[in-house]
Structure 1
Amino acid sequence: MNTLFVFGLGYSARFFAKQAVAKGWRVMGTMREPQEIDGIEVFPFDGKTHFEDFAGRLEGVTHVLHSIPPHKDLGDPLYNLQRKHFARLKKLQWFGYLSTTGVYGNADGAMVDETFERTPSSPRSIARKEAEDAWLGTGLPVHIFRLAGIYGPGRSTFDQIRQGRARAIDKPGHVFSRIHRDDIAGVLWASIAHPQPQTAYNVCDDQPAEPLKVLREACRIMGHEMPPVQSFEEAVETMSDMARTFWLDNKKVDNSRVKEALGYELMYPGFKEGLEAIWAEENHHDH
């Protein structure tokens, strides 16, 4: 029987885990503060103490998805605490690690594919690169997924607009890649169907775009007026460190490997299709 274990049932991983339940898989996973999720056995794991009875709990596991981000100073908690135990999982066929396109650092707007040298520009992204290398060195059937900016229902520009957090920052030529939550799950399933251990995949859509364009489109769909547009120079004065980090890197991410090697076809090839679908889904539930 296919058995999935998810470390870190966050936004994207939880959606994928629910799809696995729907496919009839046995699904287990961890959260810092466990809560009930239909069809998923949830265990506590805070990344600070060893996972209890690891070998026993994971004995029959065929697929692992690791989505816990590394700590910028301490590194990957799962690797640090449990890596030895994974070698004992006799049935493990596939190990997916959710990384980020942040590992590439800044490319001054150029296109990066999976062979592009990783020169991360922030402590968080450096920790990501180190975690990728650590897992690839374990000899497990590791697949690395470098995710672009994640968005989806309950986590999109619409939410920022509703909460009054959306900022219209104009920095011409500075683009970001994005990926819809449903397409992340789609790529993971495509990889499970065609495992290629020790491979990294860029997971993003076909349309890197300036955030201002995405915000304009979201306001248009909502029928909401645009927040006042600020120049980047003006906006950066009042930005959090995290937001500044976000603007350090300018690159376009090449997703041809997921299409060619995995035969994956994006459900939402651009932010317009993605936003329209989220709007339809969120408003369908409300009325």
Structure 2
Amino acid sequence: MSGVSALIVGCGDVGGRLARQLLGLGWHVSGLRRAVQHLPEGVQPVAADLADRRIPADWPERAPDYLVYCVAASQHDEAGYQAAYVNGLRHVLGWLERSGQSPRRLLFVSSSSVFAQKNGEWIDETAATTPEGYSGKVMLEAEQLALHSGIPASIVRLTGIYGPGREWLLSQVRQGYRVAEQPPLYGNRIHAEDAASLLAYLLQADARGVALDDCYIGVDDDPAPLADVVAWLREYLGVTEWSDEQRVRRTGSKRCSNARARALGWAPVYPSYKEGYAAILQGRG
């Protein structure tokens, strides 16, 4: 499949992992971010600030076959989300149009925050999206922008991403912070490498001519109660003390299904938190 090209907008942790996977498949990869010195080796750099309407000076002359919009908000409030996910995407779509470029498909990386369910329900891509917080509402707005961009698009709603460098829960467990056991607070997660592999799998499937759905949930096989995850980590880490504070909390509780992605043929390397966290703690992944 050599010769196929992808432009990854937001080539950070997950985007960088995706770039390395695609390079390994022989794809030509361009990566857009502000600090291009952090791009993986072999990625064509595109230095840009998504807040700037002007087309980047080193915008690829070659039209990308695929566009992956995989940014992270640098400011965690409504204005920051609007700037990163809606305005930034609008600018990129404008740059494509001004360059006369039209990718085969756009993958927009969204979030499970668009789902407001909180009673432990199993949900899939057809579940209602009625978010209460600004993050989910802005994500839905950005999803609609992608789906109505004029480019065939698929939304990938990633759940809680963890991996090397994303170890907040580990630090909480090491400090002995408690988590409520009842009612069970179900959490959904995906290892950063699996998040990238799902994106790579969708791109490869489309390049082979497989018809993609307009939405996929990126999650491992085991949405588990947070108390179970903390208990397993405590045992693995040998933590015996408890803090007087209860700091590990979640407001939502739902169980996301990866059946649609699995039906396409994708499977996570880290099917549950056990394999994923063990790999992190052993210096792998």
TM-score, length of structure 2 as denominator length: 0.83
Equivalent pair of 1:97/1:145 in contact (CA under 8 Å): yes
1:15-65: per-residue Cα shift (whole Å, max 9, x none)? 111222222322211223332431122233222102535795253311211
Deviations 1:211-259 (A, max 9, x none): 232222223223333542655xxx49xxxxxx7xxx3322111111001
Does 1:24 find its partner at 2:26? yes
Shift of the 167–194 alpha-carbon distance from structure 1 to 2, 3 Å rule, reads same
Identity across matched positions, percent: 23
How has the CA–CA distance of structure 1 residues 57 and 207 changed in structure 2, closer, same or farther, with 3 Å as cutoff?
A: same
1:31·1:46 contact (CA, 8 Å) conserved in 2?
yes
| Higher mean C-alpha deviation, range 48-57 or range 74-83 | 48-57
**Partners of 2:50 and 2:180 in 1: CA distance:** 39
SS in 1 for 2:46: strand
Q: Does 1:140 align with 2:151?
A: yes
Q: CA deviation at 1:129?
A: 0.7
Question: Does the Cα contact within 8 Å between 2:8 and 2:68 map onto a contact in 1?
Answer: yes
Q: For 1:26-175, what aligned pairs fall within 5 Å after superposition?
A: 26-37=28-39, 38-53=41-56, 57=60, 59-69=62-72, 72-73=78-79, 74-75=82-83, 76-87=86-97, 88-90=100-102, 92-156=103-167, 159-160=170-171, 167-172=177-182, 173-175=184-186
SS in 1 for 2:195: helix
Say whether the 8 Å CA contact 2:21–2:200 is kept in structure 1. Answer: no
Question: Which structure 2 segments of 5+ residues have no match?
Answer: none
Shifted more, 266-275 versus 152-161: the winner is 152-161
1:248 maps to: 251
Poorly superposed stretches of 4+, deviation over 6 Å: none
- Equivalent residue pairs, number: 268
SS at match of 1:4: strand
Aligned equivalents of 2:176, 2:18: Cα separation in 1: 28
Pick one of 181, 191, 199 that aligns with 2:214: 199
1:136 Cα deviation after fit: 0.3
> What residue is the counterpart of 2:12 in the other structure?
10
SS of residue in 2 equivalent to 1:207: coil
Q: Deviations 1:95-124 (Å, cap 9, x if unpaired)? A: 211101110123421111101111112111
What amino acid is aligned across from residue 134 of structure 1 in structure 2? L
**Cα RMSD for the two superposed structures:** 2.7
Distance 1:230 1:81 in 2: 45
Contact 1:136 1:198 in 2 (8 A): no
Whether 1:182 and 2:193 are equivalent positions in the alignment is yes
Code of the aligned partner of 2:88? L
2:272 matched residue in structure 1: 270
Aligned partners of 1:278, 1:219: CA distance in 2, in Å? Answer: 15
Asked whether the equivalents of residues 176 and 211 of structure 1 are also in contact (C-alpha less than 8 Å), the reply is yes
How far 1:187 sits from its partner (Å)? 1.4
- Distance, in Å, in 1 between the alignment partners of 2:37 and 2:231 is 37
Q: Structure 1: which 5+ runs fail to align?
A: 237-242
With 222-231 and 208-217 compared, the bigger mean Cα shift is at 222-231
Per the alignment, do residues 171 and 129 of structure 1 end up closer, same or farther by CA in structure 2, a change over 3 Å counting? Answer: farther
- Displacement after TM superposition at 1:180 (Å): 1.0
Q: How does 1:191-230 map to 2 (within 5 A)?
A: 191-195=202-206, 196-197=211-212, 199-228=214-243, 230=245
For residue 12 of structure 1, report the CA deviation from its aligned partner: 1.1
**Aligned mates of 1:129, 1:169 — CA distance in 2:** 30
Deviation at 1:266, TM superposition (A): 2.1
Residue pair 2:185, 2:253 contacting (<8 A) in 1 also: yes
